Amino acid sequence: MGRAIEAVALERGHHIGLRVTSENAGASPAGCDVAIEFSRPDQVMANIRLCLDAGVPVVVGTTGWYDQLDAVKDLVRTRAGALLWASNFSIGVNLFFRLNRQLAQLMDPHPAYGLQIDEVHHVHKLDAPSGTAITLARDIDLRTRRYSGWRAADGSAQYPTEGAVPISSERTGEVPGKHSITWRSPEDRITITHEAFGRQGFASGAVVAAGWLHGRKGFYTMDDVLDTPH
């Protein structure tokens, strides 16, 4: 992702002020206009603090740390900083999030339909389920009365009509990312799917988000970016 983001940023006329690798981990981004953070779940909090302490707005694409969202919001507020996070920066995925929320609201009054989320990623992805799948499940939770929370599923496609949203995860080959939400009844099935063909969409979205965040203060998501006229 780092190489893909750098390529997009340079293509759009931006200058790369600092590249952080394992060899210079902990290097301060002081003096940069904005930082884009794609690292590991065990490193993301330290990187967020490093950016906020340096007064540099940070776009966070790492997943697997969302149980600390409240603590990060407090940190952004006390540092008077700026942070934008997303489980997925692809513009297409963020439109898919909106479609998922609308569909969940429509399906909730129809108890014959059960639900399952399926996600597939490359073998190098460290977290499972993916942050994108968890976001999809969270949004269904917020817009239905029948579902609350999520659980890892074994892919047996039970399609429960209530309870925790089941998420089936598969790690195979070099798949960039595929997410499907299926509502199934004894009579029929409705499925919506987003499939990425490469990392370009994620990288482009992250660079767009970084440009949007520059000059702002506060805590934001990709919804804020999409809701702003360009």
Domains of the chain by start residue, with CATH: 2-89+199-226 (3.40.50.720), 91-195 (3.30.360.10)
* Residues taking part in catalysis: 121, 125
At 115, give phi and psi (nearest 5°): -135, 145
According to the model, what pLDDT value does residue 13 have? 93
> Going by C-beta distance under 8 Å and a sequence separation of 6 or more, which residues neighbour residue 97?
135, 136, 139
Going by C-alpha positions, the residue among 170, 64, 49, 50 that lies closest to residue 116 is 170
- Give the rounded distance of the alpha carbon of 26 from its chain centre: 24
> What would the pLDDT profile of 38-75 be if each residue is shown by its tens digit?
998 889 999 999 999 999 999 999 888 888 999 999 99
For the chain, give the mean pLDDT: 92
Handedness of CA 84, 150, 129, 44 (dihedral sign): positive
Handedness of CA 56, 60, 65, 66 (dihedral sign): positive
Inter-residue contact 59 to 36 (CB < 8 Å): yes
Given pLDDT bands bounded at 50, 70 and 90, which one contains residue 198? Answer: confident
Residue type, 20: V
Average pLDDT value for residue range 24-33: 92
Q: Strands 178-184 and 218-221: what pairing?
A: unpaired
Going by C-alpha positions, the residue among 87, 154, 155, 163 that lies closest to residue 127 is 87
Inter-residue contact 205 to 89 (CB < 8 Å): yes
**Residue of higher predicted confidence among 192 and 20:** 192
Average pLDDT value for residue range 195-204: 87
> Going by C-beta distance under 8 Å and a sequence separation of 6 or more, which residues neighbour residue 144?
104, 105, 107, 108
Inter-residue contact 78 to 48 (CB < 8 Å): no
According to the model, what pLDDT value does residue 83 have? 98
At 59, give phi and psi (nearest 5°): -100, 125
According to the model, what pLDDT value does residue 155 have? 66
Going by C-alpha positions, the residue among 220, 222, 214 that lies closest to residue 90 is 222
> What would the pLDDT profile of 120-167 be if each residue is shown by its tens digit?
999 888 788 998 899 999 999 999 999 999 999 976 667 999 999 999
pLDDT at 221 over 60: yes
pLDDT at 230 over 60: no
